[in-house]
């Protein structure tokens, strides 16, 4: 039995790594095509509203992939009802979000000092139901340890995005920058729809027909009990990401910088440099996601030595893979930037913040371990503390004429703070249990 569980775990890790790896590679080529087709001006505008988009997506998902995954694995509810109630809750949240977006879209664009961005901001409301439904389906299949279709849909989504970028995006580029940014956002409808169709077929053929009747009285309560606190944790970081360009644009404009300079530099850092340096986190995130059920059981059964042994191995793997990738990026930054984006914008930024990303590569393992302990509240405290320190520092530095460097310093301090708090918490828990 132990051997079978190990084989399933290994199989799931390999599917997540291979599927996610292929999706990342295809996505990287898609990003290359997008940045070259759209150009720096359109990409910078898209980057400026990306924090808003990510905040809205976080709320639309409502941590349903996590809550539905957990309840699906426990198998105490009817499969069809679990998916149905998950979608009902998610779509209710979507309706509230759509109303808020339509009411405050104009004000958000004014805070970003570009009133034309109100159009793409409002258009984000259209993609929300698609994201919600695919999130529920993905969580359900993960809970059943059926990783193949969710991984496959990631690959298909990236392929669809490339096709749309090559053949459809040029039709919008000639109509203007704002229309092009809007089109990039709306591409998500086609990407998510493909995932919904494929995952629906898998769920219907493998799980719905075989489901039996269970008590469904507490199903909504159980979903909300997991989704609400987990969303609160994710929301903290996304709120920070949302206010980031607002703080940056407003304070730097007062310091004498032009909106074009701020938009371009912010776009280079957030669209080119950070995604490039963050690539190695894919490996630790994939392995951590596959190990979560396993280490949760170890901690629940009080097998603490095995728990911390697996945590150490995960941290070691994350750091080694991250170090190798980081060294390649640091040694050949110009060549890699030209290969990926067709330009070498922001090469100096890599040298400034790059070394600190080795600390970032540890975060997925630390975060998953805290979740396995059932201490989600500590992640909430960690997120709030990091947000206050990072963006408080950003505001102070910007007001003291440090310029765009203030953003880089805030990123570094944010990474260090978040990681250290999690390490201290885990160390304290270890001293109590071992």
- 255: tokens are 């310091």
Q: Which helix H or strand E contains 273, and what residues bound it? A: none
Yes or no: say if 128 and 56 are a contact pair by the CB < 8 Å rule.
yes
Residue 315, C-beta contacts closer than 8 angstroms, at least 6 positions apart? 362, 365, 366
Mean pLDDT, each 10-residue run in order, the chain (434 residues): 57 72 81 84 85 86 84 80 91 93 89 84 93 92 83 92 94 91 94 94 82 65 81 78 83 85 86 86 76 72 85 88 92 87 85 93 88 78 90 90 89 94 92 78
**Nearest residue to 341 (alpha-carbon basis) of 27, 34, 44, 42:** 34
- Tokens standing for 108? 């958000």
Which pair of structure tokens corresponds to residue 216? 């469904």
pLDDT digits (tens, 9 = 90+) for 299-328: 877 888 888 888 888 888 889 988 999 999
Helices 40-61 & 259-268 angle (0-180, nearest 10): 70
3-state secondary structure 180-234: HHHHHHHHHHHHHHHHHHHHHHHHHHHHHCCCCCCCCCCHHHHHHHHHHHHHHHH
Angle at 331 between CA 327 and CA 332, to 5 degrees: 115
Task: State the pLDDT at residue 433.
Answer: 78
Give me the pLDDT at residue 209, please: 63
Residue with token string 């193949």: 148
Predicted confidence at residue 92, as pLDDT, reads 93
Residue partners of 41: CB distance under 8 A and separation at least 6: 177, 264
3-state secondary structure of 64: helix
Tokens representing 18 are 């291979």
Determine the pLDDT at residue 103. 92
Helix/strand/coil for 375: coil
Q: Tokens 């097998």 sit at which residue? A: 303
Half-sphere exposure of 344 (CA within 13 A, CB side): 9
Rg of the chain in Å (alpha carbons): 22
- DSSP state for residue 146 in the 8-state scheme: -
pLDDT at 116: 84
**Digit-coded pLDDT (tens) for 10-64:** 676 677 677 777 887 788 788 888 888 888 788 888 888 888 888 888 889 888 8
DSSP 18-30: HHHHHHHHHHHHH
- Let me know if 349 is exposed, middle or buried by CB neighbors in 10 A (0-12, 13-18, 19+): buried
Looking at residue 10, its pLDDT comes to 65
């Amino acid at each position: 039995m132990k051997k079978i569980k190990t084989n399933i775990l290994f199989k799931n890790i390999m599917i997540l790594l291979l599927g996610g790896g292929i999706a990342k590679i295809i996505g990287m080529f898609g990003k290359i095509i997008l940045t070259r087709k759209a150009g720096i001006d359109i990409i910078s505008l898209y980057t400026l509203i990306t924090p808003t988009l990510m905040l809205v997506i976080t709320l639309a998902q409502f941590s349903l992939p996590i809550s539905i995954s957990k309840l699906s694995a426990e198998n105490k509810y009817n499969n069809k009802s679990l998916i149905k109630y998950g979608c009902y809750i998610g779509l209710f949240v979507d309706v509230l979000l759509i109303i808020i977006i339509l009411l405050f879209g104009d004000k958000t664009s004014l805070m970003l000092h570009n009133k034309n961005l109100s159009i793409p901001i409002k258009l984000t409301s259209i993609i929300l139901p698609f994201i919600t439904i695919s999130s529920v389906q993905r969580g359900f299949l993960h809970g059943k340890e059926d990783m193949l279709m969710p991984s496959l849909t990631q690959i298909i989504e990236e392929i669809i995005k490339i096709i749309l970028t090559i053949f459809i995006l040029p039709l919008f580029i000639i109509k203007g920058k704002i229309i092009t940014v809007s089109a990039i956002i709306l591409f998500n409808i086609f990407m998510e729809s493909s995932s919904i169709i494929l995952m629906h077929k898998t769920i219907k053929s493998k799980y719905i027909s075989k489901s039996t009747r269970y008590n469904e009285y507490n199903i909504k309560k159980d979903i909300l009990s997991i989704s609400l606190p987990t969303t609160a944790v994710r929301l903290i970081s996304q709120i920070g990401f949302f206010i980031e360009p607002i703080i940056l644009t407003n304070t730097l404009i007062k310091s004498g910088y032009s909106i074009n300079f701020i938009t371009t530099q912010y776009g280079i850092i957030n669209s080119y440099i950070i995604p490039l340096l963050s690539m190695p986190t894919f490996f630790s995130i994939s392995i951590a996601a596959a190990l979560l059920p396993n280490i949760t059981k170890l901690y629940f059964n009080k097998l603490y030595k095995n728990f911390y042994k697996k945590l150490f191995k995960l941290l070691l793997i994350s750091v080694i893979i991250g170090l190798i990738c980081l060294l390649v990026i640091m040694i050949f930054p110009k060549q890699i930037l030209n290969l990926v984006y067709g330009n070498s914008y922001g090469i100096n930024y890599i040298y400034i913040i790059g070394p600190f990303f080795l600390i970032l590569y540890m975060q997925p393992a630390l975060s998953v371990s805290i979740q396995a302990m059932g201490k989600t509240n500590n992640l909430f405290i960690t997120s709030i503390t990091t947000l206050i320190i990072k963006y408080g520092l950003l505001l102070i530095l910007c007001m003291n004429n440090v310029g765009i460097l203030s953003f880089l310093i805030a990123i570094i301090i944010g990474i260090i703070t978040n990681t250290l708090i999690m390490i201290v918490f885990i160390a304290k828990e270890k001293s109590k249990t071992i």
